A = this chain, B = another copy of it.
Amino acid sequence: MLISDLPTPALVVDGPSLDANLATMAAALPGPRLRPHVKAHKCTALAQRQADAGHHNFTCATPREVIGMTAAGLGDDLLLANETIDGSRLRAMAECGGRVTVAVDSDETIAAAAANGIREVLIDVNVGLPRCGCEPDDAGRLADLARGRGLDVRGVMGYEGHIYAFSEREERTNATEQAMQLLLAAHEKVGGPIVSAGATGSYDLNRWATEIQAGSYALMDVAYGPIIPEFRTALYVLSTVISVSSGYAVADCGLKAFGMDHGNPTMDDAQVLLVSDEHITFRTRNSVRVGDVVRVWPAHVDPSVAYHERMQLASGAEPGAELIDTWNVDLRGW
């Protein structure tokens, strides 16, 4: 079957580009140097490819991701790099059969983890992005508190996501170093073997963390292309042209197929004019007819994938490529 024969809209993975991305990353950060973040793809079949590339420790953003990864046989060492005080979900993770470590950054999150059977934690430290994470100066106290509650503190984590604000590599390197100095200072007080940090955008800048939580590299965001050209954009939405008017045409994908926080999706040789629930209106100099299939590239992979029940693995980037496999996006929801 060809990709162009799929019902649309269809979320398509360019298999060779995915393979190249996995190989590039595995060469740079082999084995446990990378803790791939599954939130980017929410797909255990794709995670299995990452495991096949040598990475057996994974990062998750939700309890459902943790439990789903374990159910898929990928529960060797899972980090919930996020805080929760949901007792039911903490217990479900504690009892899921995988090795589960959760991030904690407060008295409350430590108490919830300890009370619900979680055995291992990382102290989540704020290293510059205004999100979760304790003050670096508070990390030692929290580690002591956690150990006092019987938890094994495996180390620290901190996400230097604010470095994406800098367009120059040198600025990103400096910002990463400053962030990691905060994390290493906290780690001195906390102890444990793990210093977990990073992202696709810092995978080759961050020399301080013991492991990097990169996720986007596998399918790759269009926005990151200019700063990390060694990874290829490997995900698009195949769409069918359903209407052609003077000056524009319309294809059958829209706001329910694309995360829009990074702006409109983009198209090959075409200008996107309007995106509505189930339509994308575009202008192109090429001739276009009802029934043509077009590629539409999400501006942001993670929230786009989360709209789709499945992704289609293709033998190449073109709609004429063959369908190799259908992967369920099986880690959606919470």
Q: Which A residues have a C-beta under 8 Å from some C-beta of B? A: 7-9, 39, 61-62, 82-86, 88-89, 105-106, 108-109, 126, 129-133, 135, 161, 240, 242-248, 250, 252, 255-256, 259-261, 273-279, 281, 289-291, 300, 302-303, 306-309, 332-334
Contact = CB atoms under 8 A, between A and B. Distances in A.
Contacts of A308: 333
Nearest to A162: B274
A255 B302 contact: yes
Contacts of A250: 83, 131-132
**Chain A interface secondary structure, helix, strand, loop or mixed?**
loop
Given A61-B278, A106-B244, A132-B250, A255 B86 contact: no
B281 A130 contact: yes
A278 B242 contact: no
Contacts of A246: 135
Given A291-B108, A334-B9, A135 B260 contact: no
12 contacts: A84-B252, A106-B244, A108-B291, A126-B245, A130-B245, A131-B274, A132-B242, A132-B250, A133-B243, A135-B246, A307-B307, A309-B333
